[in-house]
Every structure is written in C-alpha cells, then in structure tokens.
C-alpha cells in the first residue's frame, strides 16, 4: 500500500557499526551515523494547490489582481511587482510548452537511483505565465537527448496513488499520446501505453564474427584481471556484487562483480541480476578500456540493459575504467 | 539595476593567505583541525598572532556536510579567537565569495582593523549504504538545497539545475559552447593544476578526447566538465590600509588590495518577470557593481587573471561572457580566439579551478582568492577577478577585484 510507505525506506538505514581505516601507519575511525529530523510539515498557503493535485487532479496557479500575471506554481499570495497587490487562485491547463530544453539526469542522488534516467523541465502551462518545474519521462524507453526540446508540448500525467506532493505529477510529450489522452484532464499514469521492456533482437553472427569475438574475450579477460589486481581501481566495485548476463550475437558470457574483483565466466550464467545486450562486444570492451563510457553507449542505444535501476552498476563499471586509466597515468606523471 | 554603488569607506588589503591540501576525503582530520590548520598558515603568512586579529567570518556551506547545526561555534576557541566577533556565512556555492565580502565590509566600514576569512568544508563523510558509495549521498545532501515544496521531490540537483541554465543558453545560442571547446577548456585547466601542490587532482592531466569520451552525469554535462567534491580549508587575512602596509613591510610580501566587490541574487524560479532565462544575470550584475567600484571600464583589457568558480565548464564560459570578457553567444572565443590559452591575454584559473583543485564548497572561492593573490604577486601581474556562483539555477553571484600595485 502506497500510503503506508515509510518516510525513509528501511534499506537506506545503516546498522550501528564502525570500521577503521589505516592511513600511513595510523588507524582512523569511521562511524556509521545519520542526522535526521521528522516533520509534520505545514503546507500553509500551498495547501489548496497540493490538495487540488491529490483530490481533483487539477493544477492551480495564482493571478495578480493588479497586473494579471498568472504564476504556476502559485508562489505567493501578494505580487512583489505590484506593490504587493493580492493574488487569487485560478485553475490552469494541463498541457503546456517547455520553456527550454530539459536536462536529463543519468547519475541520480541516492533517493532517485530507481527513477533515473529522468528529465526535469520548466513547463509553462496553458493559462500560466511562469514555469512549473516538472519531472519528464518518455513512454518509449530510456530518455535520450533530442526527445524533448524548448517548445515541445508536454501533457501533465497524474500518478494513480497520490499523496498531495509535487511528485504526484509528471510530464510526457503530447506527441506520444492518442488525441483522446491528450485532451483528457486528469490523465492517469496507468492509462499510458508504456513501451514494454523487451530484449533487442541481436540477429545472427557470422562465423568470422564468432572467431573474432574469441580474441576480444581474451583481451577482456586480461583487462578484468588488471582491474581486480589494482587496489585503486577495484575501489569502484568494493562491497558490490552482481552477475551480469552479457549477450551478443557472437558470444554469451557472465560478467561477475564480487567485492572489488571482476572476472568473466564463459557461457550463459545460470542466473543473473540483469542482462546486458549489444551487437558488438567491443562496445563493452572499449567502455572498460576507457575509450567511451558505457553510460553513453546506453544513451546512444548501442548497448541495452534490462533494468534501468542497474545504471548504478553501469556507473561503477565506468568508474572502474576511469580509476584504472588514472592510476596508470598518474603513475607515469609521478615517474 | 541596483542604485549606484557606494564606495567603501576605507581601503582593504589581503596580507596573508593559505589553503590546506584539498582531498577527496580527509579521514585523518575533522573540520576543526582543517580550520585551525588554514588559520595557522594564514597568520604565519601575515606574520601576526591571533591577538592581532579583530574578527572572523566563517564560510561553511552546508550543515548536513559538517553534521552539525551552527558548525562554526567550536571553531571560535580552536582558532584562538575567543571573545571576538565571529559571523558564519552560508550562501550555497557562493559561500566563499560572500564570506570574503562580509569580512571586507567589517574592515572597510571601520568597525574592525583586521579580519580573518576562514572557509572550511567536509563533504564526503556522506555515504550511501545502498550503492556503497559516497557520491549519490553527497549530491543528495546538496539536493536538500532545492525548493522544498516544488523541486526537491522531483529530483532537483545542483547539476540538473545548472544544466537547465546551460541548455536555456544553448537554445538561444546554438552555435556556442561547442563540445570540442568545453573539452579543450577542461584539458587546459588540468594542465594549470600541475603547479598547484594543494590540488586534489594535481597529476590528473586529461586530453580533450578523454573529456569528450567521459560519461554523461546529467545531459549535457559530462563527468570531466564538472567540478569534484573536495574537503579542505582556506583562509585570508584582511587589514585596513595602515595596518596592511605595516604588515607588508614586515613580511616583505606586498599588499593585494580588494578594490571592488559586487554581489547579486536573482529570482529562483523561471517565467515572466522572474529569472532571466538563458542568462546568468546575477554574474553580470555582480561584475558590473565590482567594476564600477574598482573603476574598470573594459574588463577584457584591464584584468589579467580570473579565478572563476567553474562548477561546470559550460557555466565557466557563460560566466566569462556575462562578466564582459567575451560577447554573449560567442563564449567559445575563449578558445577559438585563444583568449584563455597559453600566451593569451587572460589567465583563467591558474589554480586548476574547482574542477581540478577541487570544490570544498565553503573554502572554494577563498582558495580562488589565495590563488589569484599568488598569481599577482609571483608573476607581477596587476589585476585579478575572483568569482563565485551558487544556489539553484546559478541564482547567486559574487565578484571581487584584487589589485597589486608594485
Ligand atoms: Zn502583479
């Protein structure tokens, strides 16, 4: 039940513990800890706005009684541009245009790891003069640059379970909707046609490609060995454990990460945490060899992963590549 | 534009400065010891004792980083200034420049003859026990700085809010901020940092190609176009004219005068009548105020050193345009016309900037002032600009002009 969710998910909370870290022949103490405060927060003059989201699936703005400017979100009760003339609540539309091209977050904070990648844009709704900050998704898979730009028309979508917070709504491009969906006030997330997650069809490999892939596997094995051996590089995957099923037309194998070590096991793994699929195994090798990030390969759709949340593992692999490259480079610079 | 800037009542100069090493993590020291270390070194540089310091301004950005509300209170005794005034300044990323401005006002007003500027920050004690890494928790900690009603709960971060401004600028000027130019600038800064032994990334020289190949963090920002979180401290000793001259005579290090200060905070939301979307207007306003106070009419000709708060390379470029060094829409001239390249007229971030020296937030702009002062004195240059930016959508801006007469 959505309503019974904990304010802080259980999994975020560390146990009471400490560890010591040795730095240049001296031990230092690291203590698991948290700084927390709970609130029963007054939503004050914004109460009507949030209750309208939750209960009526409506978006409210505020209109200045002097200059007529409609601000959404309804930031203020009196207009600072008109000698603080009072404002009044007014309903605004649920479709609008982006004020500018929105950024896309691939590397999210610990609270949003399961929501990335997402866009956040400034949406000027019909009937409003100012922009509402809004989370943006595409229904067509992973959000990549170019799908939304300045001026793109966006439709507000309401979560089915709403709690009276700004996260009760998000936006999708109107162009991805049917005319009926685009017209409908209070459109729900469950009414959208989300593209099903399905593995890409990789096609068949030629005999030559199969032979070549064996050579690439040997290169990959040598690189992974170097990574596991490097104290600096393996920091990127310390305390991390994943089995990744890697699928290419020419070869399948398991990529195993286990607390600072990484290696591959030939053949399809018995079970895996997620699937990584690519037409060319070199995409993965180049990524790990620090010749183009694996993150970017996913963004450019050269590599596919079965779970968005595993971007967190992808980032670790990119860091692993960078740490190893940096160790070699700094070693050379210091002589 | 604000009313005409009134000029400072008294001349104020920098007579001592220091930084501690900036590191990815200081396991060996708390912020108490880092703060004292920077203080010890700055007072030593000025050749004075704590007894000769009249007041202190602390730059500490984020209570959650330090894991304490009022984190500055233990410092008053630790740095040897009990029973003296201390004020803590916190202004997002621009904390350092605002701290310098506050201490400047203390001295310029005649209230005190000397003041210590002390910036310190921990950051990477924040730790995400789910992904088993610090960074997602560090950026979460900063993400408590977004608007708490409308933005925090939809994934606001410092990176995505600056990215919004950068993309809005790119919508207006599609040919500017070319990826090969931002990559080149990052590479240039990584060369500058070689001579900064206090930097977090002193030996991390990167090629433009490596920058282009680095991963997206938040589109359009790549990992090597973004500053790195750091821990450390930095300090300055400020003094009024006669005191400053006496100290300089004693140390043999010339006074670097603060001849202009400008500050501006813009609207934090966008749309009609709010933030100047597609610009970083606060940096323009702050620079204009500082120029007027310092009597500068053509910054590109009259300023030789810029220590700029490079949270992101694209923002560095826009900030340089907003401050009048290159035209808006043609910020790439920084590289295309060689303005900030070796042998060019403007030295930008000789410290390596926040990308390579590191971003220990409260200390960062103070580190920049330390670096600018060194550059003026050691290279015999005349005038430097120190810049700070912060808060959502680059809302805060601050500029100080430093001058060296010898
Ligand atoms: Zn009005």
Residues of A numbered 231-250 whose beta carbons fall under 8 angstroms of chain B's beta carbons: which are they? 238-240
Spacing of C-alpha B335 from chain mean position: 22
Spacing of C-alpha B242 from chain mean position: 28
B86 in Cβ contact with B80 (< 8 Å): no
B124 in Cβ contact with B24 (< 8 Å): yes
pLDDT higher than 80, residue A290: yes
**B168: nearest CA in chain A?**
A100
- State the pLDDT confidence band at B263, using cuts at 50, 70 and 90: very high
User: How many other CB atoms are there within 10 angstroms of residue A18's CB atom?
Assistant: 9
Comparing CA positions, the residue from A49, A238, A244 lying closest to residue B149 is A49
pLDDT higher than 80, residue A297: yes
Mean pLDDT computed over B140-163: 96
Mean pLDDT computed over A212-220: 93
Whether A133 and B204 lie within 8 Å, measured CB to CB: no
pLDDT higher than 80, residue B114: yes
Helix (H, G, I), strand (E, B) or coil at B252: coil
Q: Whole-model pTM?
A: 0.94
Whether B130 and A113 lie within 8 Å, measured CB to CB: yes
Cα A210 to middle of ligand 1, angstroms: 70
**B28: nearest CA in chain A?**
A28
- Complex-level ipTM beyond the 0.90 threshold: yes
Whether A28 and B28 lie within 8 Å, measured CB to CB: yes
Mean pLDDT computed over A214-235: 94
Residue for token digits 């091209």?
A: A101
**B143: nearest CA in chain A?**
A109
Comparing CA positions, the residue from B295, B284, B229, B226 lying closest to residue B257 is B295
Mean pLDDT computed over A298-313: 89
Helix (H, G, I), strand (E, B) or coil at A116: coil
CATH entry 3.30.1050.10 includes domain A207-334: yes
Question: Rounded to whole angstroms, what are the CA distances from B374 to A2, B23, B265, B341?
Answer: 58, 21, 29, 20
Whole-angstrom Cα distance, residue B203 to residue B210? 15
Tell whether A158 lies on the interface with B, counting CB pairs under 8 A: no
Mean pLDDT computed over B251-278: 97
Q: Each residue of A164-199: pLDDT tens digit? A: 999 999 999 999 999 999 999 999 999 998 876 678
- State the pLDDT confidence band at B2, using cuts at 50, 70 and 90: very low
Whether A110 and B154 lie within 8 Å, measured CB to CB: no
Q: Each residue of B335-381: pLDDT tens digit? A: 999 999 999 999 999 999 999 999 999 999 999 999 999 999 999 99
Structure tokens at A221: 């094995």
- State the pLDDT confidence band at B133, using cuts at 50, 70 and 90: confident
Whether B154 and A132 lie within 8 Å, measured CB to CB: no
Helix (H, G, I), strand (E, B) or coil at B68: coil
Q: What is the pLDDT of residue A3?
A: 53
Whole-angstrom Cα distance, residue A162 to residue A152? 26
Comparing CA positions, the residue from B310, B24, B297 lying closest to residue B162 is B310
| Among the partner residues B27, B155, B278, nearest to A30 by beta-carbon distance | B27
| Mean per-residue pLDDT of chain B | 96
Structure tokens at A27: 């031990």
Comparing CA positions, the residue from A231, A293, A81 lying closest to residue B222 is A293
Residues of A in contact with B67 (CB under 8 A): 33, 35
**A75: nearest CA in chain B?**
B269
Cα A46 to middle of ligand 1, angstroms: 19
Residues of A numbered 63-102 whose beta carbons fall under 8 angstroms of chain B's beta carbons: which are they? 69, 71, 73, 75, 81, 99-102
Whether B157 and A14 lie within 8 Å, measured CB to CB: no
Q: Give how far A128 is from chain B: nearest CA, Å.
A: 9
Whole-angstrom Cα distance, residue B364 to residue B357? 9
Q: What is the CB-side half-sphere exposure of residue B15 using CA atoms within 13 A?
A: 30
Q: Which helix (H) or strand (E) holds B368?
A: helix B361-379
User: How many other CB atoms are there within 10 angstroms of residue B64's CB atom?
Assistant: 20
B391 in Cβ contact with B91 (< 8 Å): yes
Q: What is the pLDDT of residue A204?
A: 87
- State the pLDDT confidence band at B331, using cuts at 50, 70 and 90: very high
Q: Give how far A207 is from chain B: nearest CA, Å.
A: 31
Q: What is the pLDDT of residue B6?
A: 60
- State the pLDDT confidence band at B62, using cuts at 50, 70 and 90: very high
Answer yes or no: is B327 within a domain: no
Q: What is the pLDDT of residue A252?
A: 94
Q: What is the pLDDT of residue A11?
A: 86
Mean pLDDT computed over B182-201: 98
Tell whether A26 lies on the interface with B, counting CB pairs under 8 A: yes
B285 in Cβ contact with B397 (< 8 Å): yes
Give Cβ neighbours of residue A162 (< 8 Å, ≥ 6 apart): A53, A54, A168
What's the burial of B339, exposed, middle or buried (CB within 10 Å: 0-12/13-18/19+)? middle
Q: Give how far B29 is from chain A: nearest CA, Å.
A: 9
Helix (H, G, I), strand (E, B) or coil at B58: strand
Q: Give how far A193 is from chain B: nearest CA, Å.
A: 22
Task: Please count the residue pairs, one from chain A and one from chain B, whose beta carbons lie less than 8 angstroms apart.
Answer: 182
Domain, as residue range, for B84 = 12-126+229-251
Answer yes or no: is B74 within a domain: yes
Comparing CA positions, the residue from A72, A80, A233 lying closest to residue A156 is A72
Cα A66 to middle of ligand 1, angstroms: 5
Interface probe, candidates A108, A232, A241, chain B, greatest B C-beta count within 10 A: A108
B384 in Cβ contact with B307 (< 8 Å): yes
Whole-angstrom Cα distance, residue A286 to residue A275? 18
Residues of A in contact with B155 (CB under 8 A): 105, 108-109, 112, 115-116, 118, 120, 135
**A238: nearest CA in chain B?**
B132
Structure tokens at A98: 């982006």
Answer yes or no: is B92 within a domain: yes
**DSSP state for residue A213 in the 8-state scheme:** H
pLDDT higher than 50, residue B139: yes
Give Cβ neighbours of residue B227 (< 8 Å, ≥ 6 apart): B310, B311, B312, B353, B354, B355, B358, B359
Whole-angstrom Cα distance, residue B170 to residue B315? 11
**B133: nearest CA in chain A?**
A236
Q: What is the pLDDT of residue A201?
A: 86
Structure tokens at A286: 């180049």
User: How many other CB atoms are there within 10 angstroms of residue A290's CB atom?
Assistant: 21
Residues of A in contact with B153 (CB under 8 A): 165-167
Q: Each residue of A44-96: pLDDT tens digit? A: 999 999 999 999 999 999 999 999 999 999 999 999 999 999 999 999 999 99
Q: What are phi and psi of A27, to 5 degrees?
A: -95, 140
pLDDT higher than 50, residue A1: no
Cα A133 to middle of ligand 1, angstroms: 21
Whether B272 and A130 lie within 8 Å, measured CB to CB: yes
Q: Each residue of B76-90: pLDDT tens digit? A: 999 999 999 999 999
Comparing CA positions, the residue from B199, B17, B251, B243 lying closest to residue B118 is B17
Mean pLDDT computed over B277-294: 97
Whole-angstrom Cα distance, residue A96 to residue B67? 41
Residue for token digits 């005794």?
A: B77
Spacing of C-alpha A16 from chain mean position: 29
Residues of B in contact with A165 (CB under 8 A): 153
B311 in Cβ contact with B221 (< 8 Å): no
- State the pLDDT confidence band at A329, using cuts at 50, 70 and 90: confident
Q: What is the pLDDT of residue B5?
A: 53
Comparing CA positions, the residue from B171, B230, B179 lying closest to residue B204 is B230
Q: What is the CB-side half-sphere exposure of residue B87 using CA atoms within 13 A?
A: 18
pLDDT higher than 60, residue A232: yes
Residues of A numbered 112-141 whose beta carbons fall under 8 angstroms of chain B's beta carbons: which are they? 112-113, 115-116, 118, 120-122, 124, 128-135
Q: What is the pLDDT of residue A335?
A: 63
Total of domains in chain B: 1
Q: Where are the domains of chain A?
A: 44-191, 207-334
Whether B271 and A124 lie within 8 Å, measured CB to CB: yes
Q: What is the pLDDT of residue A111?
A: 87
Whole-angstrom Cα distance, residue A59 to residue B98? 38
A159 in Cβ contact with A189 (< 8 Å): yes
Q: What is the pLDDT of residue A198?
A: 77
| Among the partner residues A46, A120, A315, nearest to B160 by beta-carbon distance | A120
Whether A296 and B215 lie within 8 Å, measured CB to CB: yes
Q: What is the pLDDT of residue B1?
A: 45
Tell whether A62 lies on the interface with B, counting CB pairs under 8 A: no
Interface probe, candidates A104, A125, A133, chain B, greatest B C-beta count within 10 A: A133
- Which CATH number fits the domain that encloses residue B39? 3.40.47.10
Give Cβ neighbours of residue B337 (< 8 Å, ≥ 6 apart): none
Q: What is the pLDDT of residue A2?
A: 47
Whether A99 and B220 lie within 8 Å, measured CB to CB: no
Whole-angstrom Cα distance, residue A327 to residue B59? 33
Whether A100 and B278 lie within 8 Å, measured CB to CB: yes
Answer yes or no: is B39 within a domain: yes
Q: What is the pLDDT of residue A275?
A: 94
User: How many other CB atoms are there within 10 angstroms of residue B59's CB atom?
Assistant: 33
Q: Each residue of B240-256: pLDDT tens digit? A: 999 999 999 999 999 99
Give Cβ neighbours of residue A238 (< 8 Å, ≥ 6 apart): A259, A260, B132
DSSP A1-18: -GGG--SS-GGGPPPS-E
Q: What is the CB-side half-sphere exposure of residue A90 using CA atoms within 13 A?
A: 20
Whether B156 and A120 lie within 8 Å, measured CB to CB: yes
Whole-angstrom Cα distance, residue B319 to residue B387? 9
User: How many other CB atoms are there within 10 angstroms of residue A42's CB atom?
Assistant: 8
């Amino acid at each position: 039940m959505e309503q019974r969710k904990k304010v802080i998910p259980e999994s975020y909370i560390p146990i009471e513990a400490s560890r010591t870290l040795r730095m240049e022949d001296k031990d230092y103490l690291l203590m698991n800890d948290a700084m927390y405060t709970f609130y029963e927060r007054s939503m004050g003059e914004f109460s009507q706005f949030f209750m309208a989201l939750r209960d009526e699936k409506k978006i409210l703005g505020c209109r200045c009684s002097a200059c007529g400017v409609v601000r959404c979100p309804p930031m203020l009760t009196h207009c600072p541009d008109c000698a603080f003339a009072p404002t009044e609540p007014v309903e605004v539309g649920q479709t609008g245009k982006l004020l500018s091209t929105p950024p896309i977050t691939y590397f999210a904070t610990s609270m949003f790891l399961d929501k990335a990648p997402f866009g956040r844009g400034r949406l000027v709704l019909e009937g409003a003069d100012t922009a509402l900050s809004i989370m943006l998704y595409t229904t067509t898979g992973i959000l990549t640059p170019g799908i939304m730009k300045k001026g793109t028309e966006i439709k507000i979508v309401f979560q089915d379970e709403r709690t009276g917070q700004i996260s009760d709504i998000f936006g999708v491009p109107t162009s991805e909707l049917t005319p009926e969906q685009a017209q409908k006030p209070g459109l729900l997330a469950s009414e959208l046609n989300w593209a099903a997650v399905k593995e890409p069809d990789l096609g068949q490999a030629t005999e030559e490609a199969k032979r070549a892939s064996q050579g690439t596997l040997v290169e990959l094995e040598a690189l992974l060995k170097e990574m596991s051996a490097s104290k600096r590089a393996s920091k990127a995957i310390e305390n991390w454990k994943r089995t990744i099923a890697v699928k290419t037309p020419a070869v399948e194998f398991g990529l195993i990460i286990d607390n600072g070590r990484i290696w591959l096991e030939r053949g399809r793994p018995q079970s895996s945490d997620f699937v990584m699929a690519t037409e060319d195994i070199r995409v993965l090798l180049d990524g790990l060899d620090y010749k183009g990030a694996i993150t970017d390969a996913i963004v450019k759709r050269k590599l596919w992963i079965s779970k968005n949340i595993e971007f967190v593992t992808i980032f670790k692999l990119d860091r692993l590549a960078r740490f190893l490259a940096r160790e070699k480079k700094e070693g050379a610079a210091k002589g | 534009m604000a009313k005409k800037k009134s000029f400072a009542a008294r001349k104020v100069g920098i007579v001592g400065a220091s930084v501690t090493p900036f590191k990815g993590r200081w396991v060996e020291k708390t912020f108490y010891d880092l703060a004292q270390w920077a203080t010890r070194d700055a007072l030593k540089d000025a050749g004075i004792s704590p007894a000769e310091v009249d007041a202190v301004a602390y730059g500490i950005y984020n209570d959650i980083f330090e894991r304490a509300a009022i984190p500055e209170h233990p410092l008053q005794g630790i740095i040897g200034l009990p029973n003296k005034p201390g004020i803590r300044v916190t202004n997002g990323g621009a904390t350092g420049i605002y701290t310098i401005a506050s201490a400047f006002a203390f001295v310029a007003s005649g209230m005190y003859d000397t003041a210590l500027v002390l910036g310190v920050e921990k950051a990477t004690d924040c730790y995400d026990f789910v992904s088993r890494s610090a960074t997602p928790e560090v950026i979460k900690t900063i993400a408590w700085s977004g608007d708490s009603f409308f933005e925090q709960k939809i994934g606001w971060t410092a990176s995505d809010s600056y990215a919004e401004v950068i993309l809005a600028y790119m919508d207006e000027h599609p040919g500017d901020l070319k990826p090969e130019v931002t990559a080149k600038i990052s590479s240039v800064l990584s060369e500058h940092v070689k001579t900064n032994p206090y930097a977090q990334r002193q030996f991390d020289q990167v090629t433009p190609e490596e920058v282009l190949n680095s991963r997206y963090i938040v589109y359009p920002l790549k990992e090597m176009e973004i500053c790195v979180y750091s821990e450390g401290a930095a300090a300055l000793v400020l003094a009024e004219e006669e005191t400053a001259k006496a100290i300089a005579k004693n140390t043999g290090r010339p006074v670097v005068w603060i001849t202009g200060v400008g500050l501006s905070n813009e609207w934090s939301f966008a749309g009609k009548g709010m933030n100047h979307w597609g610009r970083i207007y606060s940096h323009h306003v702050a620079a204009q105020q500082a120029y007027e106070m310092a009597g500068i009419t053509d910054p590109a000709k009259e300023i030789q050193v810029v220590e700029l708060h490079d949270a992101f390379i694209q923002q560095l470029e826009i900030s340089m345009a907003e401050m009048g060094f290159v035209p808006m829409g043609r910020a790439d001239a920084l590289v295309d016309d060689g303005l900030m390249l070796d042998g060019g007229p403007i030295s930008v971030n000789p410290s390596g900037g926040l990308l390579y020296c590191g971003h220990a937030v409260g200390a960062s702009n103070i580190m920049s002032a330390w670096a600018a002062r060194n550059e003026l004195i050691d290279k015999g240059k005349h005038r430097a600009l120190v810049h700070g930016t912060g808060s959502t959508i680059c809302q805060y801006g601050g500029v100080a002009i430093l001058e060296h007469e010898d």
